[in-house]
Structure 1
Amino acid sequence: MAKRTRTRTATDRGAYDVETEWTKADLALLEELKKAEALLPDDAPRTLLSVRLSVLTDDTTSPVRQELDLRILARERGCRVIGVASDLNVSATKVPPWKRKELGDWLNNRAPEFDVLLFWKLDRFVRRLSDLSTMIDWCLKYGKNLVSKNDSIDLTTTAGKIMVTIIGGIAEIEAANTSTRVTSLWDYTKTQSDWLVGKPAFGYETADDEAGRVVLAIDEHAYRALRWCRSAAMRDRPASARRMVKVLVRAGLCGPGLTASTLLRRLRNPALMGYRVEEDKNGGVRRSKIVLGNDAKPIRVADPIFTEDEFQSLQAALDRRGKKQPTRRPDGATKFLGVLICHDCGSNMTVQKNRVKDRFYMYLRCGKCKAGGHGAPNPDDIYSKLVDDVLRVLGDEPVMTREYRQGAEARKEQQRLEQSISYYMTGLEPGGRFTKTRFTKEQAERSLDDLIKQLEAIDPESTQDRWVAVHNGKTFRTHWEEGGMEAMAADLLRVGVKCAVKRTRVQGVRAPHIHMKLMIPKDVRDRLILKEDDFAEAF
């Protein structure tokens, strides 16, 4: 079948790339809104704007328009905009608010900085009723309000809470219908020889045939790379995957981000025979499997890069060259992954299993040094040494948990005291109501002194919404003894503690000498504070 050489672009296939474009009129309006905002009093409610868009089409509202509309709404409500959480190319069905890059950071770490969360429309915010319910609970817990420009949503009223639940249910139904349509499309696509939707496997690209239909064509550069890899793997002394990657990157046939595991996954993809494939979700290894049609035969969607014999011989060659690693465990083969790093190259140390004459040996190796930097034998000994060093340095640190404190009650008390003080000061002025007799004047002066002392006793910080660190009565030694090595590994990774492993050859000894250096950030105490995940139960 004849094909035009023009490759069908992502835009032609309906994909998108959101670009926020501000016109001169938009910028002028933005400047006007900011000037009006500067005139607000210091105690004006602080508002955060949430802007989200998954697909930019003629029917959707652009991020610029959403932000401007929300700023206008904030001005009408007398609120000061303190930030814009803009999450573009994000699906509200797949990604809840607290998991989004920008909005999630505000919700999890910057809650004291805002009072109201504004969004353009409910489906721009959430599309699942469960997500909406979680957000309502979070707002009630932290004293925040949800406000939508185009929906009757306001958590300060009972009617608003009922309305937000009803609208959320409608949004979830719409999202379910969309999911059903997408699933149906993919199921139909798998049975067709035409290329209707999806990203082609490496080695192919989309093109238009003479009838204007989208078909798969062989990518010339990828074809050369794959054919060379097969010839290199079939030699008497086959090239390793790492060697193949270096050659391909140097020749410009693949990008600099190519890794050996990605290359092997590409070489093992049966789509290289021109068949339609789908992800094989059985097991922990990423693989693809051939999709069979109604006649129980593979569905061909493109010309093959390898014949079936060539593909099978390539798999056999890769199997002979490959080394069988330990079976994946739920907690991972390597403990303290991301904490143990190579002293020479800085890459992570991972466990590898070698077989020599029916005997198996476990090593910690890095990914960049030649020959794995000679390896570090006995991973368990290294784990034990790391645990001892960490307990010696950080074991006696108190376990502090982060708690949220609202300043609303303190602000009310401060306002009450200020009003009372103003009342007594006015009454004590010449001719005031408390200056008529000595008794009333003395009583008023004592009351005023007492009120001033109460006002001075209020900590200014207590009037602000804030995070505070509270000691839970344990040390990290006790915490890690209860949680085990997994709890310590998680905390060290979260805090940013690293342990550099240096391996030095010893003359006449096969195993290298191991030296470990613990690297702890200067602000480790602040980083060690445990932060409660308010959204953990949402999953």
Structure 2
Amino acid sequence: MGRRTRTRAAADQGQYAVETEWTEADRALLEELKRAEALLPDDAPRALLSVRLSVLTDDTTSPVRQELDLRILARERGYRVVGVASDLNVSATKVPPWKRKELGNWLNNRAPEFDVLLFWKLDRFVRRLSDLSIMIDWCLKYGKNLVSKNDSIDLTTTAGKIMVTIIGGIAEIEAANTSTRVASLWDYTKTQSEWLVGKPAYGYMTAEDKNGKVVLVINQDARRALHWCRNATTRATPASARRMVKVLVRSGLCGPGLTASTLLRRLRNPALMGYRVEEDKNGGVRRSKIVLGKDAKPIRVAEPIFTEDEFESLQEVLNRRGKDQPARVLGGATQFLGVLICHDCGTNMTVQKTTTKGKAYAYLRCGKCKAGGHGAPNPNDIYSKLVDDVLKVLGDEPVMTREYRQGAEARKEEQRLEQSVSYYMTGLEPGGRFTKTRFTKEQAEKTLDGLIKQLESMDPESTKDRWVAVHNGKSFRTRWQEGGMEAMSADLLRVGVRCRIKRTKVKGVRAPYIHMKLTIPKDVRDRLIIKEDDFAEVF
């Protein structure tokens, strides 16, 4: 083997999601395969290579080896390689093909660009029989073929379809066995006081003791953050969760991605008392509960950050404050969330409700302006104005749906016409079969003219696999009237339409003046086209 290096040709770098190794021999073989591919005819079948690994180790088939093997297979079968969908560190059991970053983009958006999907081995492609069944249905719908380097798979034959199903069943059984082993390991781990596997709860980290055993130790920065939060929560004038987040992020004790809900979830975790916990799946709220050992007592895995008294008093305060919060609104309190943007700071406008002297008030506020800016009262009035403005601009636009059109039939018809034209042109040459009598010549010339007209009338685009936009008979005004503000909000977010809210203080008036500016992308008509999900449950 040649000396391995981590550099690649400039054109090929960035192709993989993680860094991989190419040798000089690998690059030489790649160039040789590309030169052979350049000699293929223009109408050669187009191949997409799918490369996947769950974990990149020395014992696995490297992505470089997978790609080269698949390129060799493509050369043997006369396929032109149009792309490589590389998804590394991705589990085939957990992530189906259409949800992977690279392959999913090809399947959902670039289907017209390839004819055959090549993969190294079936378990490199899928590990669930249901996923395989969906992919077979998708390939049959879109006229694609599945080909494996190391399995007898070919969707163009009945035997190939049966073989795919059998191999897929074996792969699913293997995946199920792996899942059972992992679940068994977790069940065993939960009963042990030693830390064997898993991610520690916030406040702790793993370390090695003097005997080389992995143990949990307290993260001192996290401990300071947690104790400060407890003190800030239990004092006479308690700090809000939002206020605590700002202080912790500004101090550097927590990262900028911390949210109020995440902080509250950390403060409610009984693991802070040093006990082993597991997820509590009852109630629909993300919480953790203590795991009891064989003696019906909590299993201690680390030194406590909070004593039991400290933790219980903290929970009492959080529970008491939680009862004062307004009930969660189904679908969220803010309509058009992500569409309404603050003109000054650029963050989302959200509804915040307050109660003063028994009267409820609602304001649209932003995230970065001081105290949420001046606040925009009467959110419903802003919603109504936004709806009116959107309907004036986009309401009469037709609802277009993206549909897939195959060019195989049109290509066959084009080929038939070209062969027929060639046949009659040859027959009309001096001494040809149609020149023996005036009648046969006239009839042949008439037929030839008709064939040429048919050939000229064919749309060149019809011979290609392509996406087309089809009008479903409705306008967006009708669509939004049927679906309400939720449907309009979803479409505006998808398209990229935004409404900037500018609040100007008016002297002597408590409520500011509200100015709304609607921004619409130039390619809004293309963005409005609805792309149906082929991999939804109904498929």
Deviation at 1:534, TM superposition (A): 1.3
Match of 1:146 in 2: 146
- Which AA in structure 2 matches 1:163? M
3-state DSSP of counterpart to 1:51: strand
Deviation at 1:309, TM superposition (A): 2.5
Q: Deviations over 1:402-443 (max 9, x none)?
A: 111111111011111111112222233333333344333333
Deviation at 1:165, TM superposition (A): 0.8
3-state DSSP of counterpart to 2:537: helix
Match of 1:475 in 2: 475
Match of 1:297 in 2: 297
- Which AA in structure 1 matches 2:153? I
**Cα RMSD (Å):** 2.3
Most deviating of 386-395 and 275-284: 275-284
Most deviating of 343-352 and 278-287: 278-287
**Pair 1:377-2:377 in alignment:** yes
Match of 1:497 in 2: 497
3-state DSSP of counterpart to 1:56: coil
Q: Structure 2 vs 1, CA of residues 49 and 398 (structure 1 numbering), >3 Å: closer, same or farther?
A: same
How do residues 5-16 of structure 1 correspond to structure 2 at under 5 angstroms? none
Match of 1:277 in 2: 277
**What is the rounded CA distance, in whole Å, between the counterparts of 2:345 and 2:355 in structure 1?**
26
Match of 1:435 in 2: 435
3-state DSSP of counterpart to 1:537: coil
Q: Structure 2 vs 1, CA of residues 296 and 365 (structure 1 numbering), >3 Å: closer, same or farther?
A: farther
How do residues 42-441 of structure 1 correspond to structure 2 at under 5 angstroms? 42-283=42-283, 285-316=285-316, 324-441=324-441
Q: Structure 2 vs 1, CA of residues 464 and 324 (structure 1 numbering), >3 Å: closer, same or farther?
A: farther
Contact 1:131/1:538 (<8 A) preserved:
no
**What is the rounded CA distance, in whole Å, between the counterparts of 1:322 and 1:263 in structure 2?**
14
3-state DSSP of counterpart to 2:196: coil
Contact 1:326/1:352 (<8 A) preserved:
no
- When normalised by structure 2's length, the TM-score is 0.91
**What is the rounded CA distance, in whole Å, between the counterparts of 2:538 and 2:206 in structure 1?**
40
Q: Structure 2 vs 1, CA of residues 187 and 526 (structure 1 numbering), >3 Å: closer, same or farther?
A: same
Q: Deviations over 1:350-384 (max 9, x none)?
A: 22222223333233222222111232233222222
**What is the rounded CA distance, in whole Å, between the counterparts of 2:302 and 2:138 in structure 1?**
51
**What is the rounded CA distance, in whole Å, between the counterparts of 2:45 and 2:249 in structure 1?**
55
**What is the rounded CA distance, in whole Å, between the counterparts of 2:218 and 2:271 in structure 1?**
12
**What is the rounded CA distance, in whole Å, between the counterparts of 2:144 and 2:328 in structure 1?**
44
Deviation at 1:247, TM superposition (A): 4.2
Contact 2:400/2:472 (<8 A) preserved:
yes
Q: Deviations over 1:161-211 (max 9, x none)?
A: 011111111111122222222222222222221111111112211112233
Most deviating of 221-230 and 117-126: 221-230
- Which AA in structure 1 matches 2:404? Y
Deviation at 1:283, TM superposition (A): 4.1
3-state DSSP of counterpart to 1:81: strand
Gaps of 5+ in 1: 1-16
Deviation at 1:491, TM superposition (A): 1.2
3-state DSSP of counterpart to 1:509: coil
Contact 1:326/1:333 (<8 A) preserved:
no
Contact 1:325/1:352 (<8 A) preserved:
no
Deviation at 1:155, TM superposition (A): 0.3
Deviation at 1:246, TM superposition (A): 4.3
**Pair 1:507-2:507 in alignment:** yes
Q: Structure 2 vs 1, CA of residues 387 and 323 (structure 1 numbering), >3 Å: closer, same or farther?
A: farther
Identity of aligned residues (%): 86
Q: Structure 2 vs 1, CA of residues 378 and 325 (structure 1 numbering), >3 Å: closer, same or farther?
A: farther
Most deviating of 182-191 and 147-156: 182-191
Q: Deviations over 1:467-509 (max 9, x none)?
A: 1111111111111112222211211111111112222333333
Match of 1:536 in 2: 536
3-state DSSP of counterpart to 1:20: coil
**What is the rounded CA distance, in whole Å, between the counterparts of 2:292 and 2:511 in structure 1?**
51
Deviation at 1:339, TM superposition (A): 1.4
Deviation at 1:303, TM superposition (A): 0.7
Contact 1:505/1:513 (<8 A) preserved:
yes
**What is the rounded CA distance, in whole Å, between the counterparts of 1:202 and 1:40 in structure 2?**
58
- When normalised by structure 1's length, the TM-score is 0.91
- Which AA in structure 1 matches 2:221? H
Contact 2:191/2:293 (<8 A) preserved:
yes
Contact 1:397/1:475 (<8 A) preserved:
yes
- Which AA in structure 2 matches 1:361? Y
Contact 1:134/1:538 (<8 A) preserved:
no
**What is the rounded CA distance, in whole Å, between the counterparts of 1:449 and 1:326 in structure 2?**
78
Most deviating of 130-139 and 496-505: 496-505
**What is the rounded CA distance, in whole Å, between the counterparts of 1:519 and 1:326 in structure 2?**
33
Q: Larger RCO: Structure 1 or Structure 2 (Cα < 8 Å, ≥ 6 residues apart)?
A: 1
Deviation at 1:237, TM superposition (A): 4.6
Deviation at 1:231, TM superposition (A): 4.1
3-state DSSP of counterpart to 2:527: helix
Query: How many residues matched?
Result: 523
Contact 1:325/1:353 (<8 A) preserved:
no
Contact 1:347/1:366 (<8 A) preserved:
yes
Most deviating of 181-190 and 200-209: 181-190
**Pair 1:26-2:26 in alignment:** yes
Gaps of 5+ in 2: 1-16
Most deviating of 286-295 and 67-76: 286-295
Deviation at 1:320, TM superposition (A): 6.8
Contact 1:284/1:328 (<8 A) preserved:
no
- Which AA in structure 1 matches 2:367? G
3-state DSSP of counterpart to 2:512: strand
- Which AA in structure 2 matches 1:528? L
Deviation at 1:460, TM superposition (A): 0.3
Contact 2:56/2:88 (<8 A) preserved:
no
Contact 1:338/1:493 (<8 A) preserved:
yes
